[in-house]
Each structure stands twice: as structure tokens, then as C-alpha cells.
Structure 1
Amino acid sequence: MADTHGNLHIAMLPWFAFGHMTPYMELAKLMAGKGHRISFLSAPRNIDRLPKPPPDLASLISFVKLPLPAVEHLLEGAEATSDLPYDKVQYLKKAFDMLQGPVAQFLESSDPDWIMYDFAPYWAGRIASRLGIRSVLFTIMIGAGLGFIGPTWASKGGDYRKTPEDFTVPPKWVPFPTKVAFHLFEIKKIFDVVTGNASGVTDIYRMGAGQECCDIIALRSSYEVEPEWLSLLNDMHAKPVFPVGQLPPGDPETQGKTDSWKSIKEWLDAQKKGTMVYVAFGSESKPSQTELTEIALGLELSGLPFFWVLKTQLGSADTESIVLPDGFEQRVKGRGVVWGSWVPQLKILAHDSVGGFLTHGGWNSAVEALSFERALLLFTFVADQGLNARFLEERQIGYPIPRNEFDGSVTRQSVAESLRLVMVEEKGRVYREKAKEMRSIVGDKNVR
């Protein structure tokens, strides 16, 4: 419980995806910095893989390991979405829902003042209410994404949108003009969030039920970035909606010194300032073979230097291997690097040679890039990345690489032209200027 100085004990339960656990961890550090005690709940391997808190906060952030129950079709040791191809993530959700008992036992025995939970543990608010613990649904989505999903009644089954096409236009409850909606190929790829999966509960329902049971809705946003969406959310929900800010990353130097960084830095140091494209699609996104080929040949055609962190497999259950075009690495030798293992992304983005970032549109990556004034090029894959991309495009903060609306296909020419537009051409100057402008908003830990 709260101590005599008014400091709180807060339990945190993010969904088992590093794109969720990372912002939860950033928020945990901010709250611990104010003297509050944090219990961070996750599966054992996830906790072992998360960056450790800085020494001055280590005593205030304790990790609680929740062993994941065995579930048919879920590979042993697969505890995060990055360990699995997309079609197997549904089994992780099924195992996650079996943690209701252990979570309830922890809350009962440790009696925190608050619990902050994600969209997936929609049941956590109900457990907290029964135990007299106050609760916050903390979604890592931005206001535009949450507004697009809509009010609680819509999430819980009352939504008029039934087909993929219904999600390609802004919903009726948005009273202002906006481009925020999915492209058809984006929503078709993830339509199980609406229709359901092996867990028996749709992602949309999880969000609605989580909103219904909490005392406060918190989200990764700020009035400086999206005032109209936050106003809409306040009108939409009969409870406080609290933006926690963009949760910018910490000091890149905290990522530590590794042998790989030494060789990466030497290569980056040899490039001219602001000329290089950093390419990375996050821990949960992998291009198809066709996309990979066109992106690679587009990078080659662009003539620009690049550093590409390429994930060819999403965990050991992923059997669809992808390969670079024949002779590609030899042809771009000296100008481009393809890196197949983990990199300290913050250190790369902070390096002076980087001018632009070709990204999947995950909000973590967008915030990291804008914190270092790196122009954004967008190539979406799954989840809410499409909504993030439309929001960034609408404000000319990010440039989407043109793709076929129906199947998402891309050409090497459009990749090359997009890269040159954002990196060097006069008509793409707006994206470079916007990245500079956003640094003061996104990179400020005090902005709400």
C-alpha cells in the first residue's frame, strides 16, 4: 500500500509484445523516479530480455515472473509475439488468459494501490474491482488509433462495421475530417481482431471490456500532438482519459557497449552526415519474399547509403524463410549493410550519419526516430501500424511508400523514388523539417 510519504505501489501488466512492454517500462521508470514502487508482471523469458532499470531506480522496480501455461500449438519458450509468426499469436493470447488466477493471487497478496493493464488482460480490471484496487487501462495506442476503434459499446459488439471495407474509411463518430483509417490490405491481414481467434475473445472486445472495467483510461499521447483526438476520447468515455506523453527513449548510451556496436559504429562513422537511411521493421514484422525483393532492389536503385536490420524469421515456429535477391549484398557492398541480428537501435538513430528511417510505423520506433530528428518513411505490416501511418501522413510527419491498396504490393521504383524524395529532394524537405520540429514535442519527457 501507499507509504507515509504518499508514494504508491503500482502493478503493471502489459501484453506480451515488446512494443507494449517497452513503453510500459519507460512509464515504470518515470513513476519510480517520483518515488513510487512498481511491480512489473510478465513471463520469465520476457523479463530476462527486457533492459534492466538504471541503478538509481532498481530498488523501486521489482519484476514478477508469471510462468506461462502450456497451450496446444504454442511452442515451448514462446512468451512474446516476437517469438511467433502472426498466425500463432492467437495461442499466446489463449495462454495469457490462463494467467487470471496467478494475477489475482499476486494482487491479493501484494495489495497494490493501482494496477495498470493493457488491452489483452481485459479481465484485470474486473479482478482489481473485486479486490478494491483501483485500475488504469493503459493502452500503448495513440489517440487517433483509440478514437478509430471507438466507444466501449462499439468494441463490445455494437459496431456497425462488419466487413474489412468498413474499416477503410473514418468511423461515423469522428466529427472532424481525417485520413485515419486502414488501407484494405492492412485490415484484411489482421481482420481476426474483429472476427476472433483461438483464444475465443476478439482484440476489439478485449479493448472494450478493459475500458469498461477501469477507473481511468491512459494512453501514449499528448495534447501538443493530437488535441482533437484527445478531445473526442474525453467526449466518448464517461471516465477520465489521461495522456501520459510520448514516453521518449532514454539515453542511447544505456544500451551498453557490445562487440557488434564497435563494427557498426565504424561503418556509420565512414558515412557523410545525414545521408544514410536506417531500415528496420521492428520485432514483430517480417516482409514477404516479394516485398523483401522489391525493398532490396529499391534500396539498390536509390543510390543512397543504408543500414538494414533484417529479421528473416519470427521465432522458431516460423517456417517461411525469405532471402535477399541474388548478388544484392555484393552489388551494394561499401554503400549498404544488411544486419541479421539485434542492434542498439537508439545508438544508430542517434548517429549523425542517419538522415531517414524506413520503418513499419510502430509508435515506439516513430518516437525514437523523431527524438533524434530523423525523417520517417513508412511501410506498414500489422496491428495499428496502418492507423499510425495515416496519422503521420496526415500531418506530413511521415511519408508512406506507395503500395497497391488491395494487396499491399510495392515496386522497387516506388521504394527508390520515396527514399530519394524524403532524403534529398526539395519537395520532400517538409518531412525533414517536420522531424526537426517534432523533436521538441516528442523528445520532451514533460510534455503531456
Structure 2
Amino acid sequence: MDAGSSSPPPPLRIVIFPWLAFGHLLPYLELAQRLASRGHHVSFVSTPGNVARFPPLRAAVDLVALPLPHVDGLPDGAESTNTVPHDKMGLLFAAFDGLAAPFAEFLAAACADDRRRPDWVILDCFHHWAAAAGGEHKVPLAMLLPTAAAMAETPAAGVVPRYELERKAQFHIDHGGGMSISQRFAFVFERCAIAAMRSCDEWEPEFFPHVAARLRKHLVVPLGLLPPPPSPSVAAGDDAMMMRWLDVQPPGSVLYVALGSEVPLPVAQVHELAHGLELAGTRFLWALRKPSDVVVSDAGDILPPGFHERTHTQWGFITMGWAPQISILGHAAVGAFLTHCGQSSIIEGLLFGRPLIMLPMFGDQGPNARLMEGKKVGLQVTRDEDDGSFDRHGVASAIRAVMLEEETRGVFVGNAMKMQRIAADKELHERCVDEFVQQLRSHTANGTE
């Protein structure tokens, strides 16, 4: 048979298993769908509660729901980080580690059948027992790093604020299962043949080319940004009311405020943020999370006295429920995004060219904010060096510079539009996924484990 008539390689069989946080689950699910759309067989492992919350799938992905074991003290139905209070995260780790035996059984059954045997298991950072199961069955492992390459950099002295350094110390504390987060990461990372990062040279030319050396890994593959697909139209309920409110606002006049779901602000900081919005005098749409230190039923219970009445619907809209972030950011009325700087939120904001006002909270958010501030797509809110707190004047100053002051806004908008061209480059991101598949095939063909 001549080379021109050779058959295409068979599809890969891939198991993907993310950590129980939607900032991990959704990018992994986007990767799963992109792999499945190329004809590969993908099994995506999570828990029933998380699977039930996934958006409709665009491709044939096999969703494997492993029931999360009961742990005393963990709230009923709490299966992801955004449904678990921050002080109970150790209980979520304990429940998560209880998935070790069910996952080992799932993988053993798949490996016992040559027609189902996985070619790869793609893991998150914390699954040391899943990495051990893959090694036992001689299934090669890959790690998906849903962070930017900036996370691997060692900044110069004085660049990282004291409060961020103290929060990073939490990575070295055992939160359950006898291993710290850093130990879990190291265990998995050392056993993976490939590390794939949700970034690329175009997004981080200053960092990505050096990330393999920084991580001491032979192969770190750029996955691209895995930008989310367009959101379906919002048809009913509070979300429809929110979008109708946006429809009557002038173009570029609204600041969208959303600080993620995992680390709610204490009520005193909610008040400072509210006062800062009022001082700045710009329209806003605020997806407000329940504060970490109070029990409340609606936004009026936690905002400064009179704030809700003075601002709601006239020049502000506040929701305490889930907000359709992609639809909001894509709306012509939105002129900037006040964000906690999770990787997904940054990508989603810049996908629409929205300049950023940045309030990073933990994890990779500080490095993300410094990366974006260096690209002059926005400003960080001034914080207290010791405890990370902020005040209304710092909030108002950052908002005015990004939203209202023509000279600085022009710079931030121009640079955000440059980043939009990268975030919205479908060909670039599809090429990154294709190259990732080629690396998987290359390792499989060479018998690399």
C-alpha cells in the first residue's frame, strides 16, 4: 500500500479528571469537547452534583459521575469549592480523597477491556491517588495546568505583597489526606509525561517560552486559552431582567463587577466596594456574593444603609444569584470588568476587549493581575500591604482611571483590544489543541509512560 492510501490513526481514548472547582471543571470540559469533536473518545470524571450543573455539551463526551463520599461537617450537596465555606475546604479534600477507590475501580475496569483501555489520563494538580492508579495500570499521564505561565515565575523582591505571601503559605499546610497542596502537586507532576498549560507564547511571550525550565519539566505544551463558546440567549427570570437593564444603558457605560465564587469578601469590604462604586459615579452591574461572615437573604441586608435604594435600577443593578457572565461581558453597554483575576475571568473579559480593574484574592490571581497590569490592560486596586484590605477611595480611583478619565481609559482600552485579538483567535487555539493531540500520539507511539 502506498503512503497516499494509508488510513488515518485511530482515535485516542482519554480520561479527564479535574479538581472540584468550576475554574478547573469548565476549562477541562472545554478541552474534552474539543478533543471529542476531533473524533477522540473522552471520559470526563466528576461528581453527580457537578455534572448536573454542566452547560449543554457540543460534542459526545462520556460523563462519569462518581458519588462524593459523605464527610461529617461537609454541607449536604457541597461538591465543589463554590458551595463549601472557605474554612471547611479541608472537608472537601477529605471527601475528594474518598474518590480514590471508586476511580481506581473505574480505571481498572476500563483497562481490563482492550476496546476501552485509555491511552491517556489527564489529571489536575491534586489527584495523587489517581496518578498512582494510572501508574499501576501503566497508563501514561498528562497534567493540565489551568493557570498562566506567570504563576511559575519568581518575582523580584518586593513585588509580591506581604498578604499574598502569607496566603501562599497555605499551600504547604495539610488540609486533609496527609498531604499539603504543594505535595499533591509535586507527586502528580513528577509522574506526568506531559504538562499542558492554558496559555501560549502569544498570550505570555514574556513568560511562556521559559516555563518548562522554570517547572523543570521537559515538555510543557501550550493548550491555548480554551475560550468558552458564546452563551445562549437569556430568556427569562432575573437574568432576562438584568439583560433588559443593560439594553437601555449607553454603550460602554457600565462596569461589570464579579469577584468569583470561592472567596467571598467580608461584609466590611463589601461596604467599601459599594462606597467606592458610588464615589466613582459610574453605572455598574454587580454580581454580589454572600459575604463570608454573615447570614443574609438578599443584597439589601449586606450593603451600606440606603445604598441599594439610591442605586438599584437607576444607575446600578445588583444580583446575588448566578450571573450569565459571557452574555454580560459581550453586551455593548459594558465598558470594563472589575474582577478577582481568575484565569477564566481574565480570558472572558479580554475576549470582548474589556479593560480590567483588578482585585486578586488568592492562588494564581496575584500573578495574573501583575501580568495584566504589565500589559497595561487595566489597574489593580490599591491594597494594604499587610492584610490585603482596600478602601472606597482606592476603588473609586481605579474605576475612574479605567472607566472615566479619557487619557488613561484610551490606553487601557487600546491594550485590551490587542489582547482580544489573541483571546478571540480561533485558529490559534484550535492549532494549540491539535499540537497537544500530536504530542499525545507521539508519546503513545513511542511507548512513553
TM-score by length of 2: 0.87
What is the rounded CA distance, in whole Å, between the counterparts of 1:235 and 1:185 in structure 2?
Answer: 28
Q: Distance in 2 between matches of 1:33 and 1:105?
A: 27
Give the corresponding residue for 2:414. 433
- SS of equivalent to 1:446: helix
Do residues 413 (structure 1) and 397 (structure 2) align?
A: no
CA distance in 1, matches of 2:195, 2:236: 39
SS at the partner of 2:101? helix
Q: Pick the aligned partner of 2:336 from 336, 349, 356.
A: 356
What is the Cα deviation at residue 146 of structure 1?
Answer: 3.2
Change (3 A) 1:368 1:298: same
By how many angstroms is 1:141 displaced?
1.2
Deviates more, 1:221-230 or 1:397-406: 221-230
| Structure 2: distance between partners of 1:443 and 1:424 | 26
Inter-CA distance 126–446: structure 2 relative to 1 (3 Å threshold): farther
In structure 2, what is the Cα distance between the partners aligned to 1:219 and 1:366?
Answer: 15
Which of 338, 341, 346 is the matching residue for 2:318? 338
Distance in 2 (CA, whole Å) between partners of 1:69 and 1:225 is 39
Task: Check if 1:71 corresponds to 2:87.
Answer: no
Q: Is the 8 A contact 2:197 2:222 kept in 1?
A: yes
CA distance in 2, matches of 1:418, 1:247: 29
Which string of whole-angstrom CA distances, capped at 9 and with x for unpartnered residues, describes residues 29-68 of structure 1? 11111111211101110110111202xx1xx201111111
Separation in 1, partners of 2:230, 2:421 = 16
Q: Could you tell me how far 1:429 is from its partner in structure 2?
A: 2.3
Q: Among 265, 276, 288, which residue is 2:243 paired with?
A: 265
- 2:133 corresponding residue in structure 1: 127
CA distance, structure 2, for counterparts of residue 243 and residue 81 of structure 1: 26
Cα displacement (A) at 1:96? 1.0
Q: 1:185 to 1:302 in 2, by over 3 A?
A: same
Mapped partners of 2:226, 2:359: distance in 1: 23
**Corresponding residue to 2:44 among 40, 44, 47:** 40
Three-state SS of the structure 2 residue aligned to 1:123 is helix
CA distance, structure 2, for counterparts of residue 240 and residue 256 of structure 1:
42
- What are the Cα deviations for residues 355-392 of structure 1, in whole angstroms up to 9, with x where unaligned? 00001110101100100111111012222211211111
Q: How does 1:374-413 map to 2 (within 5 A)?
A: 374-413=354-393
Letter in 1 for 2:50: N
- Structure 1 Cα separation of the partners of residues 382 and 17 of structure 2: 37
Per-residue CA deviation, residues 122-153 of structure 1 (Å, 9 max, x unaligned), is 332232122121111111111111345xxxxx
Retained in 1: the 8 A contact 2:267–2:294? no
**Maintained 8 Å contact 1:279/1:357:** yes
Q: Which residue of 1 aligns with 2:93?
A: 93
SS state of the match for residue 415, structure 2?
A: helix
Cα contact 1:125–1:213 (8 A) shared by 2: yes
Structure number with greater Rg is: 2
Q: Tell whether the 8 Å contact from 2:242 to 2:317 is kept in structure 1 after alignment.
A: no
Q: Normalization by structure 1: what TM-score?
A: 0.87
Cross-structure match for 1:164? none
Which SS does the other structure have where 1:73 is aligned? coil
Work out whether 1:53 is the aligned partner of 2:48: no
Deviation at 1:262, TM superposition (A): 2.2
Cα offset for 1:290? 1.6
Counterpart in the other structure of 1:114: 120
Higher mean C-alpha deviation, range 420-429 or range 296-305? 420-429
Q: How many residues align?
A: 410
Checking the alignment, whether the CA contact within 8 Å between 1:247 and 1:445 is kept in structure 2 is: no
Q: Which amino acid counterpart does residue 75 of structure 2 have in structure 1?
A: L
State how 1:4-43 maps to structure 2 within 5 Å.
Answer: 5-43=9-47
Question: SS at the partner of 1:218?
Answer: strand
Q: Which runs of 5+ in 1 are unaligned?
A: 149-168, 172-178
Deviation at residue 288 of structure 1 after TM alignment: 1.2
How many Å separate the matches in 1 of 2:355 and 2:24?
23
How far 1:342 sits from its partner (Å)? 1.1
RMSD of aligned Cα (Å): 2.0
Task: Answer whether contact 1:11 1:116 (CA < 8 A) is retained.
Answer: yes
Aligned CA distance change for structure 1 residues 258 and 182 (closer, same or farther; 3 Å):
farther
Q: Which among 160, 175, 180 is matched to residue 197 of structure 1?
A: 175
After TM superposition, give the deviation of residue 4 of structure 1 in Å.
7.7
How far is the alpha carbon of 1:170 from its aligned partner? 4.1
What corresponds to 2:194 in structure 1? 216
Contact kept in structure 1, 2:125 and 2:188, CA below 8 Å: yes
